[in-house]
Amino acid sequence: MELQEWIDGAFKETDTDYTIAGMNILYKEEKEYLKKGVKLLCDKLHPSSVLEFGFGKGWTATEFQAQGVKRHVILEPNKENYQMALDWKDKYDTDVEIVNIFSWQYETDEKFDLVYDDRLEAISEERHEIQMKKIIPLKQWYAGNALQSDNRKISDYPIFFKMDGINYVQSLAKYGEYKSCQLSI
């Protein structure tokens, strides 16, 4: 997919999921898993600042706010989703910043308590990794999520729970030690 197609792509709802430019970004059944995963992360780390990649439907962003995050930066490259994030932001009086760019375009010297990676990995993973090595210090807390584990055992994850009989893992590692999870339903 071309980057401009992603930027301009329509955000649509289907019976089972949400898409941008026809590509799945969220399954509807993920909502409670994602919210619980964020709650467990916050219970463990108590972050006051979060850098989050992707807005989606705002489920994780809303949960971070419910957990008391004071500084929240969300990077969202899709124009329609970005506007939804701006509308969402108006509900909060904390320091929330919504930036309409891809993760690899983000420049900052700011340090965050947690970097939460919930973006679609199909969009220029290599550029993302190169930029993250520049802006995220080694040993920075970095988290991702999956409804099923990748090739690691469930016991390899620091945060694991089961809902409705489905295994959910919330990966959490210091940046540089992180191995991404593949989202799979």
Show the domains of the chain with their CATH numbers: 3-139 (3.40.50.150)
Considering only residues 37 and 128, tell me which one the structure prediction assigns the higher pLDDT: 37
| 180 band by pLDDT with thresholds 50, 70 and 90 | very low
Q: Does residue 124 have a pLDDT over 90?
A: no
Structure letter (DSSP) for residue 122: T
Output the pTM of the full model: 0.83
pLDDT tens-place string over residues 69-78: 999 999 999 9
Residue from 5, 49, 42, 44 nearest 23 by CA: 5
Q: What is the pLDDT of residues 142-177, one digit of tens each?
A: 777 654 445 555 455 556 555 666 666 666 777 766
Is the model's pLDDT at 45 over the cut of 60?
A: yes
Q: Give the per-residue pLDDT at 75.
A: 95
Token pair listed for 119 = 């973006």
